[in-house]
Amino acid sequence: MLLIKLVQRNRALRSESAVDSDQQAAWSDEWFEEFSSFRYLPMRRLLSGEEEEYWMQSTDGSKYRREEFRAERRRLFRGYLKLISFDFGRLSQGVRLCLVHATEDRTVDISHLVSLEWSLRKLLWQAEVSLMFHWLGVKPVDATQLINALQGFEFSLREIRLSGASA
């Protein structure tokens, strides 16, 4: 049942992102108001060893079914990574727009966002590399740090935009 819900959620996320490619890449205030990094929270459990063991026990799964389950979970995880990367690109555009439109010196705020941006890029890269080894049975990928970094980036950008609007 959980797998079915995850597949449905992944399809919903994919259809949300399947808009015109010209519109996809552009930052907009409307997009930012509707954006929430909380939509990535289910990603934390996708490659969880506990989830896999629960599924195996509840379905009396064979080795083949386990590999099938793991492959589907990796596919879903990779889809989430693509969406995070896309949303991160848009958020990065927002940082650049804040820098361009700043009416006062925002050097400290912007340097904080740039630092968060580099941390998030590193975590995305690490997740991709870890995912490549997941099929070998290596330790599951933990998406918690990646999601926390994305949330921190989003919240910091919101704070800077709000403080700039009230100034």
CA distance 94 to 28: 8
| pLDDT above 50: residue 67 | yes
The total number of structural domains that make up the chain: 1
Q: Which tokens sit at 22?
A: 């010209």
Between the alpha carbon of residue 131 and those of residues 13, 33, 37, 46, 145, the distances in Å are: 20, 31, 21, 12, 15
| pLDDT above 60: residue 22 | no
| pLDDT above 90: residue 58 | no
Torsion of CA 41, 43, 44, 46, to 10 degrees: 140
Backbone angles phi, psi at 69, to 5 degrees: -60, -45
Is 126 part of any domain?
A: yes
Is 70 part of any domain?
A: yes
| pLDDT above 70: residue 145 | yes
Q: Which of 20-29, 34-43, 101-110, 117-126 has the lowest mean pLDDT?
A: 20-29
What number of other Cβ atoms are within 10 A of residue 61's Cβ? 15
pLDDT at 148 (0 to 100): 94
Work out the average pLDDT over 9-25.
51
Domain coverage including residue 159: 40-166
Is 4 part of any domain?
A: no
Torsion of CA 161, 162, 164, 167, to 10 degrees: 170
pLDDT at 9 (0 to 100): 56
